[in-house]
Chain A
């Protein structure tokens, strides 16, 4: 054992009702890339926030470069040379790159920021580590990869020698991941230590010098030489059991077109006057009964806008939407939902649930105009409750009952409630964004099963997902959305994640329809 940059010993962190970390140990050697892997909810992010001083552990010790530390706030951690790049970017959109970078640590006097010095320092750092961004650019104008570089610059600007990266590759396509890894290797070569959180095993194996596996809040394995393990080994350590895979068996596609979209243009900002940029440009696609059509794309390439336009939540600029032979282009969202279009929105907290409502009212959300949820102008509480009990049972929603507020449930259980409510109301078409995001492995399989069953019974599904395995495994056809346009149509039986990734970055284009 050479010198340790970080040693966490027996860390316990409790939240109301949950023990997120239950005695975690972690040893990170200086000058290495150390990966921490585990399932969603295993406690990785909680552990890293503890190390970064964002909250304090209930038990356990933190040792940095050989001495025990107590971090009351991130400021203390920063002072020890620890920096963190969060999974969800911590950037103010309406400020410039340099403002975001120097925030809290501004050059100059209390009476004036020395902006020239700030720009200079940022340019210097970005040249040194190959992190190319313009200091005066507005964050709102930057793409995902560039935003991540700003995050890393923020950390480096503060002189961090130990960098924590929380799921840095989640929003990147494979090519961007390669660029990121090159930068990380450059950093390590110059003496930095990197802690890298992920659940993407192949990536971890390709970049990490050592690996710690966390399951259910506990350290379950430490791998000092990654070349001795396979991704299968790691996966089973992570999950603790056999793995399910998303895979459709046999085609159930019929000729009956359920959803037809022709030449759809969707402006980027809703309702904006003038010449707004288009988020979706000339998209045409069809979904037939019994078919799952997958849409692949890096987040922010128009998926969200496309789905919102189909649901009538976002105005369109041109094009037509047909549903089961009827032109619904000018229908309200209400008409669309009532006629049988189910919707699993991308962001469940923003669009899927009213957190303060009890589960039975949330189960009615989106279907409030029909039985069993309402009866004419009156709501039907008994009918909704019975329906909710069915969802709870069929989709294994872990809850004490139908009358608790949705906010009392974990994210995964909330997601199960949404998927269950949409599946059990027997839609003709399901518009689903990331249906298994944030839910545990067992429940993931149940959701996949229910989608496959419904497909066999003639449901048409338009599926958007960031999980490429899920997309390839479930879809009958794959479409790739890049910069708001469909750039490829692919057969999921003959494609790998890596290939799909190169289509998603626009590196490869086909029209092999």
Chain B
């Protein structure tokens, strides 16, 4: 209970400050914050609003977990943007090309997406391990290369397919029925089973990081690289495996869009391009913890959803982006301050309890 309070308090402080900032921005631009928030709430708090937030939140969640895995060892995988696009494209191409029974078909498609992301992220690790190239810079360059590679591959005949339904866009062939992830109709809304994939990724993340030897090595490498190395962890191998896992998970970010019948079922020009960066924000907001990230992902998606209601009151929806940005920036500050305060308290507390124990021992 106490632990939960310790974790949640800074998040709420950050949230309050962020809303305060957004309110000031709204006031300055001549709008009533109350009207804005009411309109946002109204657009979110419907069945469709919630289901959409869950669908979108699931994809944000996977995007954030991809970042969080690497951040556990203080590695910034800023290249998830390129990794998930490559994953989605290769997944979509392979998924449309093969004929297999349903579960195998889906499994193959997801594996291809995972592998494409993993390989692309592993390139960053190789450049870092062998040539000492800064991983953030390498990943950004590879994002640039990835978009060129995708453009190039999408020009060739084996990927490009003029979908008659979407004449003006280039895209891959649509995924056949056996390759799709099931969707469930709830009233007029559609819930994607991709959400279950997100749950599985979250559980897998938790077990891997907090329960296994690999996770121990991972966290030790993040906590103190020198000590991890002295304890027998090979840092280069760790960087390679961790980035590959991170990139693989990133490869799954777009698969809800590619594999759900209420969504695009293809990879193409209309595919969203910046989910990777959103994932970074959410991972930081959720403090890299599987539950925290889940809350942050849902919140982020809910803000997106709410923002679409702002047109009804003549306010620009971009206020949600301001809100998200401010929240992120304030949160990292509040978390850092809170953590230091918490550490100081831990040290004080430990010293006091040790002293008390010693006195007791002396008295006895």
Interface set of A (CB-CB < 8 Å, partner B) = 16-18, 311, 313, 332-338, 343, 345, 347, 349-357, 361, 364-369, 374, 377-379, 398-400, 404-405, 407-410
**Is the Cβ of A377 less than 8 Å from the Cβ of B220?**
no
Contact partners of A361 in chain B: CB under 8 A: 216, 220
Separation of A361 and B213 alpha carbons in the complex (Å): 11
* Residue of B whose beta carbon sits closest to that of A400: B353
Separation of A335 and B234 alpha carbons in the complex (Å): 11
Q: Residue B227 at the A interface, CB < 8 A?
A: yes
Separation of A347 and B212 alpha carbons in the complex (Å): 27
**Is the Cβ of B350 less than 8 Å from the Cβ of A17?**
yes
Contact partners of B233 in chain A: CB under 8 A: 333-334
**Is the Cβ of B344 less than 8 Å from the Cβ of A354?**
no
| Closest chain B CB from A295 CB (angstroms) | 18
Contact partners of A409 in chain B: CB under 8 A: 350
**Is the Cβ of A354 less than 8 Å from the Cβ of B348?**
no
Contact partners of A353 in chain B: CB under 8 A: 224, 227
Contact partners of A398 in chain B: CB under 8 A: 354, 357-358
Contact partners of B223 in chain A: CB under 8 A: 354-357
Q: Residue B226 at the A interface, CB < 8 A?
A: yes
Contact partners of B156 in chain A: CB under 8 A: none
Contact partners of A379 in chain B: CB under 8 A: 211-213, 215-216
**Is the Cβ of A404 less than 8 Å from the Cβ of B350?**
yes
Q: When A334-B233, A365-B220 are in contact, do A378 and B212 touch as well, CB less than 8 Å? A: yes
Separation of A408 and B347 alpha carbons in the complex (Å): 4
**Is the Cβ of A16 less than 8 Å from the Cβ of B348?**
yes
* Residue of B whose beta carbon sits closest to that of A381: B211
Separation of A377 and B216 alpha carbons in the complex (Å): 10
* Residue of B whose beta carbon sits closest to that of A338: B232
**Is the Cβ of A16 less than 8 Å from the Cβ of B216?**
no
| Closest chain A CB from B71 CB (angstroms) | 14
Binary contact track B223-262/A, C-beta < 8 Å → 1, others 0: 1101111111110000000000000000000000000000
Q: When A17-B352, A368-B213, A369-B213 are in contact, do A351 and B344 touch as well, CB less than 8 Å? A: no
Contact partners of B217 in chain A: CB under 8 A: 368
Contact partners of A378 in chain B: CB under 8 A: 211-213
| Closest chain B CB from A397 CB (angstroms) | 10
**Is the Cβ of B232 less than 8 Å from the Cβ of A332?**
yes
| Most-contacted residue by chain A among B212, B213, B233, B353 (CB, 10 A) | B213
**Is the Cβ of B214 less than 8 Å from the Cβ of A377?**
yes
**Is the Cβ of A364 less than 8 Å from the Cβ of B351?**
no
Binary contact track B294-313/A, C-beta < 8 Å → 1, others 0: 00000000000000000000
* Residue of B whose beta carbon sits closest to that of A348: B227
| Closest chain B CB from A409 CB (angstroms) | 7
| Closest chain A CB from B41 CB (angstroms) | 39
**Is the Cβ of B231 less than 8 Å from the Cβ of A366?**
yes
* Residue of A whose beta carbon sits closest to that of B233: A334
**Is the Cβ of B230 less than 8 Å from the Cβ of A311?**
yes
**Is the Cβ of B220 less than 8 Å from the Cβ of A352?**
no
Contact partners of B34 in chain A: CB under 8 A: none
Contact partners of A404 in chain B: CB under 8 A: 346, 350
* Residue of A whose beta carbon sits closest to that of B357: A400
Contact residue among A354, A374, A405, A408 (Cβ-Cβ distance under 8 Å from B228) = A354
Separation of A81 and B254 alpha carbons in the complex (Å): 67
Q: Residue B343 at the A interface, CB < 8 A?
A: yes
Q: Residue B219 at the A interface, CB < 8 A?
A: yes
| Closest chain A CB from B347 CB (angstroms) | 5
| Closest chain B CB from A13 CB (angstroms) | 15
Q: 28 A-B pairs, CB-CB below 8 angstroms?
A: A16-B344, A16-B348, A17-B349, A333-B229, A333-B231, A333-B234, A334-B234, A336-B232, A338-B232, A345-B227, A345-B230, A350-B226, A350-B227, A353-B227, A355-B223, A361-B220, A365-B227, A366-B230, A368-B216, A368-B220, A368-B232, A374-B213, A374-B216, A377-B212, A378-B212, A400-B349, A400-B357, A408-B350
**Is the Cβ of B224 less than 8 Å from the Cβ of A355?**
yes
Contact partners of A368 in chain B: CB under 8 A: 213, 216-217, 220, 231-232
| Closest chain A CB from B225 CB (angstroms) | 9
**Is the Cβ of A354 less than 8 Å from the Cβ of B220?**
yes
**Is the Cβ of A333 less than 8 Å from the Cβ of B232?**
yes
Q: Residue B274 at the A interface, CB < 8 A?
A: no
Separation of A311 and B226 alpha carbons in the complex (Å): 13
Q: Residue B13 at the A interface, CB < 8 A?
A: no
Contact residue among A17, A338, A354, A374 (Cβ-Cβ distance under 8 Å from B227) = A354
**Is the Cβ of B230 less than 8 Å from the Cβ of A17?**
no
Contact partners of B353 in chain A: CB under 8 A: 400
Q: Residue B47 at the A interface, CB < 8 A?
A: no
Binary contact track B325-364/A, C-beta < 8 Å → 1, others 0: 0000000000000000001101111111111011000000
Separation of A410 and B354 alpha carbons in the complex (Å): 11
**Is the Cβ of A407 less than 8 Å from the Cβ of B343?**
yes
Contacting A at CB under 8 A, from B201-216, are 211-216
Separation of A378 and B211 alpha carbons in the complex (Å): 6
Contact partners of B231 in chain A: CB under 8 A: 333, 337, 365-368
Separation of A51 and B77 alpha carbons in the complex (Å): 47
| Closest chain B CB from A462 CB (angstroms) | 15
* Residue of A whose beta carbon sits closest to that of B354: A398
Contacting A at CB under 8 A, from B175-229, are 211-217, 219-220, 223-224, 226-229
Contact partners of A350 in chain B: CB under 8 A: 224, 226-227
**Is the Cβ of A407 less than 8 Å from the Cβ of B346?**
yes
Contact partners of A335 in chain B: CB under 8 A: 232
Contact partners of A18 in chain B: CB under 8 A: 351
**Is the Cβ of A408 less than 8 Å from the Cβ of B349?**
yes
**Is the Cβ of B230 less than 8 Å from the Cβ of A351?**
yes
Contact partners of A365 in chain B: CB under 8 A: 220, 227-228, 231
Separation of A398 and B357 alpha carbons in the complex (Å): 9
Separation of A367 and B217 alpha carbons in the complex (Å): 11
| Closest chain A CB from B229 CB (angstroms) | 6
* Residue of A whose beta carbon sits closest to that of B132: A271
Separation of A357 and B343 alpha carbons in the complex (Å): 12
Separation of A367 and B351 alpha carbons in the complex (Å): 28
* Residue of A whose beta carbon sits closest to that of B230: A351
Separation of A18 and B354 alpha carbons in the complex (Å): 11
| Closest chain B CB from A260 CB (angstroms) | 21
| Closest chain A CB from B35 CB (angstroms) | 45
Contact partners of B234 in chain A: CB under 8 A: 332-334
